[in-house]
């Protein structure tokens, strides 16, 4: 048995032999565990919560003895945030922005690009007053300021959130890094082209842009069709290749166009077999090579990562790959971007970058920057990350001057030029207006360092003072036997000894019982300390109320109530047997008491619950008198479980129930024993009369039921056809025997039929609410044509004689009728239909507009997709719906798939339903192709319950750039789009 349970039992063991009225002071002190021996230091592994005299294991060990002053604070040394000499500055990862940080570091180390950005005009910063707070606005301004901080900041790392926010990036979602690189360079090119300095207009083209062409040669006539194109990077397929040379060779390899992919030759004016290849004409100074590690998987419909080892050289000779031979074009490796992880949708990005000034290699991992030993690139540890993949491919041996990686996804090569060795070319000066901003940030950083150092000192001084206080007070805490004492919360003592929390005032309010004294069950959460220690603690920290050990603090009432409850719980089993036998004896004349039959069957369980509830009430300060039964909250039936004895024979008015079958008489002896356990239970003698109100209501209820039956019978006989839905008038076939019909809401008819079927269980219908069919101007809301097309589902039509009956039996707020008017004309007779009240045209037009808007803007609606095979178009795509187009011919179709209308058609959903890859999907509705992937369903004319036709069509081999664009467009989880940046 746990010590805490043992202490609990020992504190109340005396109740077996002591009645509540015989309780003495010694019993109260035993209940409050005043005399439980105190624990010695080293005897307890942790504090004994059940013992108020145990003062060990509450945090005192951290203060006793000598303490290192470094433990008095939790503030890191601010100098650890300072940039070391001759090191670079890192970038904070804002959640999922490591891919942005890698590119920023690569572009920062492009000295020519950095120099160009510094030359961009920034009028706001140049005119900036150092006393005002300048903040960059445009993307160019943010990039300027960020590069200046990366160059001259005193901080070890800086926050790029300003630039990231200006770009509109989601910091919680990892985007496509390669797509980000392309779009950002395109944005930068557009920004520089608008600068006043003409020397800046073509910097991006000079740095990153190369020229190539797609050349298609017809096999029939030999005509060559070149298509010039620019590129900022070469996207190289790595699947099936071992080194970079193989990847570039495949990129330039000739492609055969035959079969379904034949080329339309303008000279031959027909489709012909042809050959296509890419020709490189010029290369940029900085050559970005994208290794296509993230590819689309047709089977899963998602991207996957290729963990293929690729070998690449430190020096790359691109001369053999140029169309013009004999040109020397040697590049040197300047950066390698790494993706750690095995999935295309997760992982971490880092960058290895060569310093253009010293040729040293650095690893940039967000805030952390590490210089590589020697002058060589070292990728070893980065390749260990991917060892979790199933295919444990052994790393191939690399020749001298080569590197091998399974995680590299972008290689940056810089063209070797003589001017690169010029010291002037490697020195980039920060403009004065940016330098002033950096100096301002550095001053803020230095002020922060001084503030943190001062806070550290204050924390140490405070800790030393606390140390002396605790050492002095802890020795005074124990209360000696026979001396005065007080109680304080255990949690407060722990927080007082915990230097990481602020010590608040002492709060004993939670320890009070309903009588305003110390609750006996709260002793386990309090500690008994000496009065001298209590005086010092309350004088310094304040609080209250003070709980001393006098009679005014220890609650005799709570102890007595607990004693009563525990004794009754022990006596309950014996009383249950006795009551069971006594109930069998009938009471004498006029001496019995009414008891509920349900209560008698479950009184032992109710008594036990009542005792436990009484015991629980003594554990909380709720202001109620201990021992009271719970209030009766359910007097209206048996919907909730019975809580109080004899509650089952109470009526809703608090009197004796009129249902004699639910109660029985018991003797006075039985009732007296039950009253011990249920002192507040409802008591009714044998002579007590049942509730007079219930008797009166019972009589009135029977009379009302009879009236309702009579009313229902009369209404049914006079409106039999309406009730049975026979011989009903319709608008489509207007009855010839009448020129007027009356209109009521269908809701009224449904409610009336419900009353006729069950008149004693349903409230009679008293009125016809025709105002539901009227607008605020009291005009009718439907036309004759609209009721023919569907609005009639809201109304019911009545014959004139039926309307007379309705008018007699019900209160009608507004009669509504529709009349047929026939007129003779030279061409025959014409028929018109009018309503009374007349149609409100303004409200009707607004109603139609809202209906049309709801058809375009909707959520939680169903849209169907149906697959058409053999290039046949459906005539009947769905019940009651037609899809326009050419005539149907021997259609073959697959089942319809539902698409959730809460978002636009998802290529992935369609792919899983029909096993059709996104790039093979041709969607159309009403003969119109759905090609705009950025449009909404409503703008495309797709309304709820529409049927979209899916035709499988394999795309022919297009121009290489266009083919890549289509594939990216169809990717279901492509997260990065131009609009996200611009």
Active site residue 519: no
Cβ neighbors of 515 (< 8 A, separation 6 or more) are: 555, 557, 558
Identify whether the C-beta of residue 194 lies closer than 8 Å to the C-beta of residue 143.
no
**Phi/psi of residue 133, each to 5°?**
-95, 100
Give the chain's length.
982
Cβ neighbors of 555 (< 8 A, separation 6 or more) are: 513, 515, 517, 518, 519, 520
Whole-angstrom Cα distance, residue 229 to residue 217?
Answer: 17
DSSP per position, 655-723: SB-S-GGGEEEE-HHHHHHHHHH-TTS---BTTPPPPHHHHHHHHHHHHHHHHHHHHHHHHHHHTHHHH
Q: First CA to last CA across the chain, in angstroms? A: 70
Please list the ranges in the chain whose pLDDT falls under 50: 1, 384-391, 418-419, 621-640, 871-895, 899-908, 955-982
Identify whether the C-beta of residue 484 lies closer than 8 Å to the C-beta of residue 531.
yes
CATH fold for domain 4-69+464-543: DUSP-like (3.30.2230)
List the one residue out of 470, 513, 509 whose CA is nearest residue 488.
509
CATH fold for domain 720-853: DUSP-like (3.30.2230)
> For the chain, what percentages of helix, strand and coil (3-state, to nearest 5) are there?
40, 20, 40
What token pair was written down for 316? 């790359």
At the top level of CATH, the class of 78-199+427-455 is: alpha beta
List the one residue out of 485, 568, 431, 455 whose CA is nearest residue 53.
485
SS3 category, 849: helix
Q: Quick one: pLDDT at residue 847?
A: 67
Identify whether the C-beta of residue 633 lies closer than 8 Å to the C-beta of residue 672.
no
Whole-angstrom Cα distance, residue 488 to residue 497?
Answer: 14
Q: Quick one: pLDDT at residue 865?
A: 85
What are the residue ranges of CATH 3.10.20 in the chain? 862-870+896-981
What token pair was written down for 63? 């203060």
Is 673 buried (19+), middle (13-18) or exposed (0-12) by CB count in 10 A? middle
Furthest CA-CA distance within the chain:
130
Q: Quick one: pLDDT at residue 551?
A: 61
Whole-angstrom Cα distance, residue 621 to residue 101?
Answer: 58
SS3 category, 212: strand
- Interstrand relation of 921-925 and 947-952 (parallel, antiparallel or unpaired): antiparallel
Cis peptide before 179, with omega less than 30 degrees from 0?
no
Q: What dotted CATH number matches 205-381+398-422?
A: 3.90.70.10
Active site residue 98: yes
CATH architecture, domain defined by 862-870+896-981: Roll (3.10)
What are the residue ranges of CATH 3.90.70.10 in the chain? 78-199+427-455, 205-381+398-422
What are the residue ranges of CATH 3.30.2230 in the chain? 4-69+464-543, 720-853
Q: Quick one: pLDDT at residue 730?
A: 87
Catalytic position from the list 48, 54, 98, 949: 98
Which ranges of 241-334 would DSSP assign to H, the alpha helix?
244-251
Identify whether the C-beta of residue 896 lies closer than 8 Å to the C-beta of residue 865.
yes
Catalytic position from the list 348, 449, 775, 794: 348
């Amino acid at each position: 048995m746990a010590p805490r349970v043992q202490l609990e039992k020992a504190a109340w063991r005396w109740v077996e032999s002591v009645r509540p009225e015989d309780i003495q002071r010694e019993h109260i002190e035993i209940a409050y565990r005043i005399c439980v021996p105190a624990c010695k230091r080293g005897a307890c592994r942790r504090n004994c919560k059940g013992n108020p005299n145990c003062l060990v294991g509450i945090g005192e060990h951290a203060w006793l003895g000598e303490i290192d002053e470094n433990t008095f604070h939790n503030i890191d040394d601010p100098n650890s945030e300072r940039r070391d000499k001759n090191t670079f500055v890192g970038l904070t990862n804002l959640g999922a922005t490591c891919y942005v940080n890698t590119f920023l570091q690569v572009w920062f180390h492009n000295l020519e690009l950095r120099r160009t950005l510094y030359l961009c005009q920034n009028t706001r910063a140049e005119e900036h007053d150092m006393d005002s707070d300048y903040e960059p606005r445009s993307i160019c301004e943010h990039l300027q300021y960020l590069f200046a901080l990366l160059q001259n900041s005193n901080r070890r790392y800086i926050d790029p959130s300003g630039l990231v926010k200006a770009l509109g990036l989601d910091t919680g979602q990892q985007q496509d890094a390669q797509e980000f690189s392309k779009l950002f360079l395109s944005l930068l090119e557009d920004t520089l082209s608008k600068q006043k300095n003409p020397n800046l207009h073509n910097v991006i083209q000079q740095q990153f842009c190369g020229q190539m062409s797609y050349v298609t040669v017809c096999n029939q006539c030999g005509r060559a069709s070149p298509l010039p194109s620019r590129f900022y990077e070469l996207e190289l397929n790595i699947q099936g290749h071992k080194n970079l040379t193989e990847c570039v060779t495949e990129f330039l390899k000739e492609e055969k166009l035959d079969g379904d992919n034949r080329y339309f030759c303008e000279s031959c004016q027909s489709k012909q077999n042809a050959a296509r290849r890419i020709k490189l004409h010029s290369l940029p100074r900085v050559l970005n090579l994208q290794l296509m590690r993230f590819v689309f998987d047709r089977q899963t419909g998602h991207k996957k990562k290729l963990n293929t080892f690729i070998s690449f050289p430190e020096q790359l000779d691109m001369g053999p790959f140029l169309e013009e031979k004999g040109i020397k074009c040697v590049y040197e490796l300047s950066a390698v971007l790494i993706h750690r992880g095995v999935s295309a949708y997760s992982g971490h990005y880092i960058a290895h970058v060569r310093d253009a000034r010293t040729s040293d290699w650095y690893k940039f991992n967000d805030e952390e920057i590490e210089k590589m030993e020697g002058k060589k690139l070292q990728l070893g540890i980065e390749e260990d990350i991917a060892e979790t993949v199933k295919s444990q491919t052994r790393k191939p041996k690399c020749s001298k001057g080569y590197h091998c990686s399974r995680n590299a996804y972008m290689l940056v090569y810089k063209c070797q030029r003589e001017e690169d060795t010029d010291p002037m070319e490697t020195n980039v000066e920060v403009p004065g207006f940016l330098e002033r901003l950096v100096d301002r940030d550095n001053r803020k950083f230095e002020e922060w360092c001084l503030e943190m150092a001062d806070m550290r000192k204050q924390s140490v001084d405070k800790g030393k003072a606390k140390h002396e206080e605790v050492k002095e007070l802890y020795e005074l805490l124990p209360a000696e036997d026979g001396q005065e004492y007080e109680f304080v919360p255990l949690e407060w003592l722990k927080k007082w000894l915990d230097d990481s929390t602020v010590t608040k005032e002492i709060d004993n309010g939670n320890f009070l019982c309903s009588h305003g004294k110390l609750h006996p069950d709260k002793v386990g959460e309090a500690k008994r300390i000496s009065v001298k220690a209590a005086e010092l603690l309350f004088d310094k920290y304040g609080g209250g109320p003070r709980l001393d050990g006098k009679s005014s603090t220890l609650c005799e009432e709570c102890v007595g109530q607990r004693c009563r409850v525990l004794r009754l719980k022990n006596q309950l089993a014996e009383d249950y047997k006795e009551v069971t036998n006594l109930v069998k004896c009938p009471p004498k004349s006029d001496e019995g008491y009414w008891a509920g039959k349900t209560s008698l069957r479950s009184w032992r369980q109710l008594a036990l619950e009542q005792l436990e509830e009484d015991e629980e009430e003594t554990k909380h300060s709720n202001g109620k008198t201990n021992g009271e039964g719970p209030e009766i909250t359910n007097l209206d039936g048996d919907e909730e479980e019975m809580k109080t004895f004899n509650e089952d024979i109470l009526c809703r008015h608090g009197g004796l129930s009129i249902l004699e079958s639910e109660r029985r008489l018991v003797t006075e002896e039985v009732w007296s024993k039950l009253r011990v356990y249920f002192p507040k239970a409802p008591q009714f003698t044998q002579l007590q009369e049942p509730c007079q109100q219930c008797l009166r209501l019972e009589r009135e209820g029977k009379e009302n039921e009879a009236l309702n039956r009579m009313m229902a019978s009369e209404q049914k006989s006079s409106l039999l056809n309406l009730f049975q839905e026979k011989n009903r008038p319709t608008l489509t076939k207007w009855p010839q025997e009448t020129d007027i019909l009356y209109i009521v809401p269908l809701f009224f008819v449904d409610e009336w039929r419900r009353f006729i079927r069950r008149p004693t269980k349903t409230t009679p219908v008293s009125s016809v609410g025709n105002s539901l069919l009227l607008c605020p101007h009291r005009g009718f809301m439907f036309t004759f044509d609209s009721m023919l097309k569907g609005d009639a589902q809201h109304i019911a039509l009545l014959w004139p004689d039926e309307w007379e009956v309705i008018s007699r039996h019900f209160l009608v707020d507004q009669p509504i009728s529709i009349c047929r008017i026939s007129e003779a004309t030279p061409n025959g007779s014409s028929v018109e239909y009018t309503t009374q009240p007349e149609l409100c045209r303004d409200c009707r037009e607004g109603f139609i507009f809202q209906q049309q808007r709801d058809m375009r803007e909707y959520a939680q609606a169903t849209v169907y997709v149906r697959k058409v095979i053999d290039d046949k178009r459906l005539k009947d795509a769905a019940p009651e719906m037609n899809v326009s187009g050419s005539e149907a011919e021997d259609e073959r179709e697959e089942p319809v798939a539902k698409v959730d209308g809460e978002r636009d058609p998802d290529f992935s959903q369609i792919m899983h339903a029909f096993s059709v890859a996104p790039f093979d999907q041709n969607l159309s509705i009403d003969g119109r192709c759905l090609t705009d992937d950025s449009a909404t369903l409503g703008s495309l004319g797709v309304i709820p319950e529409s049927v979209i036709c899916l035709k499988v069509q394999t795309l022919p081999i297009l121009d290489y750039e266009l083919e890549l664009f289509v594939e990216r467009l169809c990717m279901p989880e492509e997260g990065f789009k131009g609009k996200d940046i611009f």
